[in-house]
Amino acid sequence: MDCAAFRLSTNAAKSLCARLSRAMTYVTIISLFTIGGGIGQTQKQAARIQTLIEGKTVPALSVKDFGATGNGQVVFDAAITAGISTLKSNSATFTPADVSKLFDLNGAGTPSCGQQYWGITGLNMNCNLVGTITGYIDTHDVTLSVNAGTSVSGGQFKWGTDDTNALKAALTALTAPRGLGTLYFPSGNYCVSSKLQYAFVDKTLLGDGEWRSNLWQMNVVAYQSSGTYQMLTVDNGTKGLTINRLGFEGSNQNGLLTSSGVATDDGVLVCSGAPGGLGRLCNGDSGISNILVEDSRFDHFWGIGFHIPGTSTAAGQQVHNVTITDSLAEWNSADGFNPNVYDGLVMTGDIALNNGTGGVEATAVLNQKIANSRFAYNKVCGMAIGGFRDPTIGRSALIDGNTVYMNGNASASSTEGYGIIIGANQQNALVTRNTVKQNLLKGIGVVNARGATLTKNIQITRNYVSSNGLSPYTAGSATVGIYVAVSDVTVGQNTVIDEGLAGYRQAWGIQVGSNLSDIIIDPNYVSAPAQAYHIGSGLTNSSYRDPAMYPNNVIETAGLTAEIPSGQPRK
């Protein structure tokens, strides 16, 4: 800040300007985004939201002005022997200044501490080792504060100065009355050892890029009953928060499993809007609205990458208008993205890969849209709408134009390997124009759940569903392209084929369960090595309208085999 340009007349004013200039950084916005943006805003709300246009320079606090170092480093050739505390890395360049820094060494902690992957029992992992560096030996060797529990070679070793207090000071200044609107994270790796929890009103957290400006979660151990924390908790009372070009990163190198709960070691957790919600984790304020996440990253956490565990349904206490766009979530212990809001969830252009359960598990009580995103290599499913076998009620969902492939963990459990799951109690969902391919059990499933009573009007149309299911598969459940287990579902105009890809066999094209009602099968293009359609018994108020003559159909409900004239009105 050029204080002289303001022609200040008093020494007090000049002194204040000088202090502000030291705590203020000017940031040039290089992409178009909106502070506190979101969907469903009224014109009056939109008028109060500042839009930053490309090339515009805005004043911002910098975390460096509060003492944050961002000096975290990582190597992947660390070696240590069980029972000793000396660590070696030939690629590291340790210095005496590294003494007292935090560290995390993957796989060198308690041996066989817990189950490694969801659904695969009998395969355990070695937990990570955390602490501080206590001694410098030479550029490649240091002494740690704890002995290794397991010998490791070629391990991931992360270390850096604990920036927690500096970041808390910066966030406190940002959220203070009359605080500036933007907190800037220059390129670097900022190590965090405890929770950062704040409410934001028209604020922006801005970095230099999701791979350049990173917050690292440290001091978290898998299967640890105490010491868990969420790196950033967005508290009740938040009304306008943008997270832009930031990386949030844990220490879970390979996306391994850990113990689960409502609030685990997540990257970013958003409160529920209810005063004292999430078991008193959240503050006593009410409601959360207008969160925009763009061009950001959430990965390697011993929990969920981006998590909104739920929302209050009481007026004034709801979570509204959350948009996540062009962001990445991968290698997390549980889901990559898990946003559950009251109204106005939008996800576009996102990617979720290699997560321990699902790529995205999302529910909106009223409206949600997930479009043009990619979900692959997740251990249980690519997408779970309304929750994975979860009776959460959702009243409108558009799942459009996503690419969902190779989800599942090849276990013998029949619950692993869905592409898209539409959970029971989801109403008025349109699943359309998605490419669902090579998932390890089923392509698209509309599934039942305990307590489900309200599932209705699910439309599955114009999807390309191909080669879902491993070959051979021994779980006792057929590999299926589209699977319907609840009533009031329409399936039409889909391409459901098995391409004969090595290692995959989509044995059945479309399967409908028994004792359902209001099932409409409109024409689809189906090709399957075993059964094109398998329609169960006891269907009522239902119709089969595909005029193609599939010789390998199995239709157990009498009266559904007749061809329906194309001009006949729908029921």
Three-state SS across 16-31?
Answer: HHHHHHHCCEEEECCC
Q: DSSP H helical segments within 394-544, as ranges?
A: none
Number of helices (H), then strands (E), belonging to the chain: the values are 4, 50
What is the reported pLDDT for 547? Answer: 84
| Residue 23 confidence class, pLDDT cut points 50, 70, 90 | very low
Nearest to 245 by CA among 191, 172, 184: 184
| Alpha-carbon distances of 293 from 49, 181, 417, 422, rounded to whole Å | 16, 16, 28, 24
Total Cβ atoms within 10 A of residue 83: 10
Strand order in the sheet with 495-497: 188-192, 213-217, 247-249, 297-299, 328-330, 351-353, 374-376, 403-405, 435-437, 464-466, 495-497, 525-527
Q: pLDDT-derived band of residue 120, with 50, 70 and 90 as boundaries?
A: confident
| Range in 31-35, 223-227, 368-372 the model is least confident about | 31-35
What pLDDT score was predicted for residue 49? Answer: 27
pLDDT at 537 over 50: yes
d(CA 489, CA 428): 10
Residue 525 in this model has a pLDDT that exceeds 90: yes
pLDDT greater at residue 52 or residue 259: 259
pLDDT at 520: 95
Q: 44 or 65: which carries more pLDDT confidence? A: 65
CA distance 82 to 151: 4
Between 454 and 185, the higher pLDDT residue: 185
Q: How far apart are CA 38 and CA 22, in angstroms?
A: 33
Q: What is the mean pLDDT of residues 368-382?
A: 96
The whole-number pLDDT of residue 358 equals 93
Instruction: Give the sign of the dihedral formed by CA 111, CA 412, CA 309, CA 32.
Output: positive
- Per-residue pLDDT of 152-184, as tens digits, reads 999 999 999 999 999 999 999 999 998 999 999
pLDDT in tens, 393-410: 788 999 999 999 999 876
Name the band, by pLDDT with cuts 50, 70 and 90, for residue 474: low
* Residue percentage of the chain with pLDDT more than 90: 69
φ and ψ of 13, to 5 deg = -65, -40
Residue 279 zone, left/alpha/beta (φ > 0; ψ -120 to 50; rest): left
Q: Which residues of 166-201 are buried (b: 16+ CB within 10 A; e: fewer)?
A: bbbbbbeebbeeebbbbbbbbebbbbbbebbbbbbb
Instruction: Compute the average pLDDT of residues 538-551.
Output: 90
Contact 356, 266 (CB under 8 A): no
Helix, coil or strand: residue 440: coil
The predicted structure's pLDDT at residue 223: 86
- pLDDT exceeds cutoff 50 at 444: yes
How far is 563 from 571, CA to CA, in rounded Å?
A: 15
Check pLDDT > 80 for residue 27. no
Residue 38 pLDDT? 34
DSSP assignment of 135-158, as one string? EEEETTEEEESS--SS-EEEEEEE
Residue 391: pLDDT band (50, 70, 90) is low
Give the residues across from 34 on adjacent strands: 51
Q: Which 8-state DSSP code applies to residue 570?
A: P
Q: Which positions ≥6 away from 503 have C-beta within 8 Å?
A: 470, 471
Number of Cβ within a 10 Å radius of residue 448: 18
Does pLDDT of 40 surpass 50? no
Of the candidates 213, 324, 189, 210, which has an alpha carbon nearest to the alpha carbon of residue 270? Answer: 324
> Two tokens at 135?
């001694």
Structure tokens given for 523:
């024409």
Note the pLDDT of residue 53: 34
**Confidence band, pLDDT 50/70/90 cuts, at residue 500:** very high
**Helix %, strand %, coil % for the chain, to 5?**
10, 40, 50
CA 204, 208, 212, 213 torsion: positive or negative?
A: negative
Q: Can you read off the two tokens belonging to residue 547?
A: 């005029």
Using alpha carbons only, give the angle 59, 167, 220 rounded to the nearest 5 degrees: 145
pLDDT digits (tens, 9 = 90+) for 219-238: 998 888 767 899 999 999 99
pLDDT score at 407: 94
pLDDT in tens, 322-341: 999 999 999 999 999 999 99
Token pair belonging to 377: 């290599």
Q: Which of 4, 32, 39, 28 is nearest to 18 (CA)?
A: 4
Locate all alpha helices (DSSP H) within 295-409, ordered by sequence: none
Give yes or no for residue 79 having a pLDDT over 80: yes
As a whole number of angstroms, the distance between CA 233 and CA 207 comes to: 18
Query: Which stretches of 32-109 are assigned E, i.e. beta strand?
Result: 33-34, 51-52, 57-62, 73-80, 86-88, 102-105
* Separation between Cα atoms, residue 272 and residue 26, nearest integer Å: 34
Place of tokens 């157990």: 556
Answering whether pTM is above 0.85, one says yes
Mean pLDDT of the chain: 86
Mean pLDDT across the stretch 194-220? 97
Q: What is the mean pLDDT of residues 27-35?
A: 42
| Integer angstrom CA distances of residue 422 from 313, 394, 443, 470, 472 | 22, 10, 11, 21, 26
Query: Which of the residue ranges 45-49, 380-384, 473-477 has the most confident prediction, judged by mean pLDDT?
Result: 380-384
